[in-house]
Amino acid sequence: MGNKQTIFTPEQLDAYQDCTFFTRKEILRLFYRYRDLAPQLVPLDYTDKPAVTLPYELIAGMPELKDNPFRQRIAEVFSEDGDGNLTLDDFLDMFSVLSEMAPRDLKAYYAFKIYDFNNDDYICKSDLEKTVNKLTRNELTPEEVRLACEKVIYEADADNDGKLSLEDFQQMIIRAPDFL
Amino acid sequence: TCISHGFYAEEKLLESLASMSTSERIKAIQKMPETMKKKREIRNKVLKEITKKSRRHSNQLPCCTQCLHGTAVSFRRFGNSLSEYFHLLQLWHETLKIIGAEFGTSVLSYFIFLKWLLTFNIFSFLINFSFITIPQFVAAESNNLSFTGLELFTGAGYFQQTVLYYGFYTNATISKIKNGPSYNMQLAYIFTIGIYFVICFLILVFSIAKSFCRNFVNPQTYSGKASKLLCAWDFNIINEKAVKLKQKNLSTQIKEDLTEVNKEVLNFSIKERVVRIVIHLLSWVASLGIAVAACAGVYFLSINNLKLFVKGHKNDLESQAAMLVLPIVASLLNAFIPFFYSWLGHLEKFQTPGHLIYVTITRNIILKISVVGILCYYWLNIVATSELQCWETLVGQDIYRLVLVDFIFCLLGSFFGEFLRRIIGTTVCVRLGLPEFDIGRNALDSIYAQTLTWIGILFSPLLPGIQMISFSIVFYVKKVSLMMNCQPPRKVWRTAQMTTSFMFLLFFPSFLGVLSVFGVTVWRLKPSEECGPFRGLSSMYAAVSEWVKILENYTASKWVVWIYHNLITSELFFFILSTLVLIITYLYWQIIEGRKTITKLLHKQIVN
């Protein structure tokens, strides 16, 4: 065990442990994964909090995200400026929420933001259509996509405003035990 | 005003966080849906608040509390590092992750269930070995029989005089030193196994309650199709082929759902409905008939076995091999009748595929339970009351053979069902394609194996150790077979409800059945006169009642006697307990109904 690592100060590690669901070892392992994406950009010494951002293309190449149809939205939701470029903080945050230790309502909150393509805090029809297309790899005809989205809004919209708010989405998640 | 409102909200948040205990605070911060930067800021501010508060207080309180606080912090750090090492003990964590990544969560749930069953066996083996077997080694008699290789299959011969079976255990009070501390083998045997079953009972009840709470309590007032769409993405999958397959499945499902909307509900005419009901009735009669026939076959075979055994004690190859016929026949029936049931299920036209799956699983369960049931009847009513020397050891040997043959058939099933099927599906008959991993069938097989092990614990205390090895080998073989031969499941299984159903099936027919067998054996059956820890007593339970009688003579242990007479053996106590449980259940049910009504009312209010 020991405090042999020199990447973070003990206070930084404590702060990471308190803010994510990871243990010290996992945080260090994730740091090395982050660094392996671009060893020349990421310094080995984070004690002075360098402002290093990895571009989206490197993140999207990670084996965990490479085949996920929502990888771009995931990176955009967790990045500071919304364009998919992640700092180490964002990186740790993303994996913390995606890990199995995160509670469902936290995941539901972020899932809502991922499916909200135009970032207006509502999942409207066009957001849903883009979601369905990504889920089915553009295999459905536009007519089928439209019908499916209408059904979803009809079933889940509790306040009848034609789009899903965060509360509607969370209500639906509570009733679906298979949500991961 | 917007900024000040936000500021005020933050102040309140900081205050509430500062007033929580440390672990609660950490959990609350982890759960906050904010960016890491914001969370770190909040955390630092809260810590500053706390140190300010404690500094104010420390001027008033003595330094003891500061020391306590310091020790609490170091304890927490120690606990954190311990939990890191505990993580290493997680069996097969990486393997499970890989399975989940390539095949999705539904297949993963089977392997997690298998691992959970394995922990039951490990626990049982550890306590049986420490409390029953190790003391027995101290007072062991010598073993005069010779060891031939066939014993590994039949469990008889050399193994009869080893710690594997009930018959070998002594009924004496073991003490190494004269007048030193003694170890009562009878009490140890019955209490170890009894307490193990009580702990299993509690673990099962709590797991089912937790699982049920999470997955069933909020009933889906929606038809569930919308949630299927938005919650259908399994973020565990990272394999490209699996991702493509999942997308194809989702699109097929959506297409099916949409066509259902356009199709009207088919109204069958009376004649068609009657025909359908008659077909269903006939298939149920057929499946139950097959199950009864299988049971009768097993019963007559076992009676035959007993006759052969009683007639001649020849230890030659023929009679030993004859003992294996019963387990092989039982396993063959368990392996092939389910195919007949699925064929039958395809003949009847069910309205939804879900119906088909549930009906087939129910029929399989009925078959397996009846086979186990008839075997228990045979053991408890016929073997126990026959004139055999040491009937418990015989029952133990029967169960050992059943477990072993079941294990071999499981491996063979994997080989034929998946490996050969893949070869056929890719070379000879390409239309078939790769096989899918049959989750329901495998889970039922594991539950059956675990039921046999639980029944056998009383007669063969080290059987969980054997089952432990067997489950581990099955895990690896199934994993390798899965990776090499199978494709991810095409049908969308409702994973969370499936896991609950497996646990429920494990508990209701399986565990409660085992408890009743255990109860009958301990209370009603007469142990054999010449072997085992309970020889000469009228029942196994008599050991406990005699012990309590002895305790009555000591004043120091009067409370134990009081508890025994007034709580454990009194019917009034159990009556009161059952009434309380029923009342609490009824209250909870009413609370849930009340909440449902309130939810409906609120929903109406939001819409209007």
Write out pLDDT tens, residues A46-81. Answer: 888 888 888 888 888 888 888 888 888 888 888 888
Cβ distance A89 to B33 less than 8 Å, yes or no, reads: no
What is the CB neighbour count within 10 angstroms for residue B389?
12
pLDDT at B354 over 80: no
Q: Contact, B344 vs B286, CB < 8 A?
A: yes
Residue A38: what pLDDT? 87
B43 → closest Cβ in A15, A80, A152: A15
Q: Contact, B341 vs B358, CB < 8 A?
A: no
Residue B196: what pLDDT? 93
A174 → closest Cβ in B36, B87, B218: B218
Q: Report the DSSP beta bridge partners of residue B183.
A: B174
Query: Mutation test of the interface with chain A: which of B24, B50, B254, choosing the one with the most A Cβ atoms within 10 A?
Result: B254
**Structure-token match 């012990």, residue found:** B547
DSSP state of B237: -
pLDDT confidence band for B90 (50 / 70 / 90): confident
pLDDT confidence band for B231 (50 / 70 / 90): low
Most confident by average pLDDT, B47-56, B299-308, B433-442? B299-308
- Of chain A, the percentage scoring pLDDT greater than 70 comes to 94
pLDDT at A3 over 80: no
pLDDT confidence band for B314 (50 / 70 / 90): low
Measured in whole angstroms, the distance separating CA A18 from the mean position of its chain's CA atoms is: 19
Tokens coding B589: 């049910």
Contacts 24+ apart (CB under 8 A), B322-328: B323/B154, B323/B156, B323/B397, B323/B401, B324/B153, B324/B154, B324/B401, B324/B405, B325/B301, B326/B298, B326/B301, B326/B302, B326/B398, B326/B401, B326/B402, B327/B398, B327/B401, B327/B402, B327/B404, B327/B405, B327/B406, B328/B405
Domain range annotation of chain B = 1-50, 102-228+265-537
Is residue A20 less than 8 Å (CB to CB) from chain B? yes
pLDDT at B452 over 90: yes
- List of chain A residues whose C-beta atoms are within 8 Å of the C-beta of residue B218: 174-175
Higher local confidence (pLDDT), A100 or A32: A32
DSSP states of B505-544 = HIIIIIIHHHHHHHHHHHHTPPPPSSSSTTTTSSSTTHHH
- List of chain A residues whose C-beta atoms are within 8 Å of the C-beta of residue B494: 177-178
pLDDT confidence band for A1 (50 / 70 / 90): very low
Min distance A40 CA to chain B CA atoms (Å): 24
pLDDT at B349 over 90: no
Residue B223: what pLDDT? 46
Is residue B351 less than 8 Å (CB to CB) from chain A? no
Residue B11: what pLDDT? 81
pLDDT at B98 over 60: yes
Lowest mean pLDDT among B75-84, B419-428, B440-449, B574-583: B75-84
Is residue A32 less than 8 Å (CB to CB) from chain B? no
Quick one: closest CA in B to A157, which residue? B607
Q: Contact, A166 vs A157, CB < 8 A?
A: no
Residue A168: what residue type? D
Q: Contact, B33 vs A110, CB < 8 A?
A: yes
Tokens coding B286: 């057929």
Residue B270: what pLDDT? 81
Compute the distance between CA of residue B135 and CA of residue B458 in angstroms, rounded to an integer. Answer: 17
DSSP states of B11-66 = HHHHHHHHTS-HHHHHHHHHH--S-HHHHHHHHHHHHHHHHHHHHHHHTTS-HHHH
Residue B222: what pLDDT? 43
Residue B491: what pLDDT? 64
Write out pLDDT tens, residues B105-161. Answer: 778 888 888 999 999 999 999 999 988 888 888 777 777 777 776 677 777 767 777
Write out pLDDT tens, residues A151-174. Answer: 778 777 777 788 888 888 887 776
pLDDT at B202 over 70: yes
pLDDT confidence band for B211 (50 / 70 / 90): confident
pLDDT at B343 over 90: no
ipTM beyond cut 0.90: no
DSSP states of B433-502 = -SPBP-HHHHHHHHHHHHHHHHHHTTT-TTHHHHHHHHHHHHHHHHHHHHHHH-B--SS---HHHHHHHH
Mean pLDDT value across chain B: 81
Q: Percentage helix, strand, coil, to 5, in chain B?
A: 75, 0, 25
Is residue B238 less than 8 Å (CB to CB) from chain A? yes
Tokens coding B482: 């899965």
Q: Contact, A139 vs A147, CB < 8 A?
A: no
Query: Mutation test of the interface with chain B: which of A105, A149, A178, choosing the one with the most B Cβ atoms within 10 A?
Result: A178
Cβ distance A24 to B238 less than 8 Å, yes or no, reads: no
Cβ distance A174 to B223 less than 8 Å, yes or no, reads: no
Residue B297: what pLDDT? 92
User: Which of B474, B437, B439, B438 is closest to B453 using CA atoms?
Assistant: B474
pTM of the predicted model as reported, rounded to 2 decimal places: 0.79
Residue B433: what pLDDT? 74
Average of per-residue pLDDT across B527-542: 84
Q: Report the DSSP beta bridge partners of residue B487.
A: B436
Cβ distance B87 to A23 less than 8 Å, yes or no, reads: yes
Write out pLDDT tens, residues B358-399. Answer: 888 889 999 999 999 999 999 888 888 877 788 888 888 889
DSSP states of B351-384 = SSHHHHHHHHHHHHHHHHHHHHHHHHHIIIIIIT
Higher local confidence (pLDDT), B58 or B248: B248
The backbone region for B155, taken as left when phi is positive above 0, alpha when psi lies in -120 to 50, beta otherwise, is left
Compute the distance between CA of residue B123 and CA of residue B588 in angstroms, rounded to an integer. Answer: 33
- List of chain A residues whose C-beta atoms are within 8 Å of the C-beta of residue B233: 69-70, 135, 180
Average of per-residue pLDDT across B498-505: 78
Q: Contact, B455 vs B399, CB < 8 A?
A: yes
User: Which of B34, B74, B45, B23 is closest to A17 using CA atoms?
Assistant: B23
Compute the distance between CA of residue A63 and CA of residue B239 in angstroms, rounded to an integer. Answer: 9
- Of chain B, the percentage scoring pLDDT greater than 70 comes to 84
Average of per-residue pLDDT across A32-44: 87
Residue B193: what pLDDT? 92
Q: Percentage helix, strand, coil, to 5, in chain A?
A: 55, 5, 45
Residue B89: what pLDDT? 63
Query: Mutation test of the interface with chain A: which of B231, B501, B605, choosing the one with the most A Cβ atoms within 10 A?
Result: B231
Quick one: closest CA in B to A149, which residue? B226
pLDDT confidence band for B221 (50 / 70 / 90): very low
Average of per-residue pLDDT across B274-289: 90
Contacts 24+ apart (CB under 8 A), B545-554: B547/B184, B547/B187
Is residue B83 less than 8 Å (CB to CB) from chain A? yes
Cβ distance A19 to B30 less than 8 Å, yes or no, reads: yes
pLDDT at B249 over 60: yes
What is the CB neighbour count within 10 angstroms for residue A46?
18
Phi, psi of B563, deg, nearest 5: -60, -45
Compute the distance between CA of residue B455 and CA of residue B478 in angstroms, rounded to an integer. Answer: 25
- List of chain A residues whose C-beta atoms are within 8 Å of the C-beta of residue B495: 178
Lowest mean pLDDT among B252-261, B423-432, B554-563, B571-580: B252-261
Write out pLDDT tens, residues B13-48. Answer: 888 877 777 778 888 888 888 888 888 888 888 888
Higher local confidence (pLDDT), A41 or B247: A41
Residue B435: what pLDDT? 80
Phi, psi of B232, deg, nearest 5: -80, -15
Compute the distance between CA of residue A178 and CA of residue B221 in angstroms, rounded to an integer. Answer: 16
B247 → closest Cβ in A15, A115, A137: A137
Q: Contact, B543 vs B187, CB < 8 A?
A: yes
Q: Contact, B551 vs B560, CB < 8 A?
A: yes
B231 → closest Cβ in A103, A140, A176: A176
Residue B366: exposure state from Cβ atoms within 10 A (0-12, 13-18, ≥19):
middle
The backbone region for B266, taken as left when phi is positive above 0, alpha when psi lies in -120 to 50, beta otherwise, is beta
Residue B64: exposure state from Cβ atoms within 10 A (0-12, 13-18, ≥19):
exposed
Compute the distance between CA of residue B142 and CA of residue B114 in angstroms, rounded to an integer. Answer: 38
What domains can be seen in chain A, in order of their start residue? Answer: 10-98 (1.10.238.10), 104-179 (1.10.238.10)
Cβ distance A20 to B36 less than 8 Å, yes or no, reads: yes
Q: Contact, B254 vs A144, CB < 8 A?
A: yes
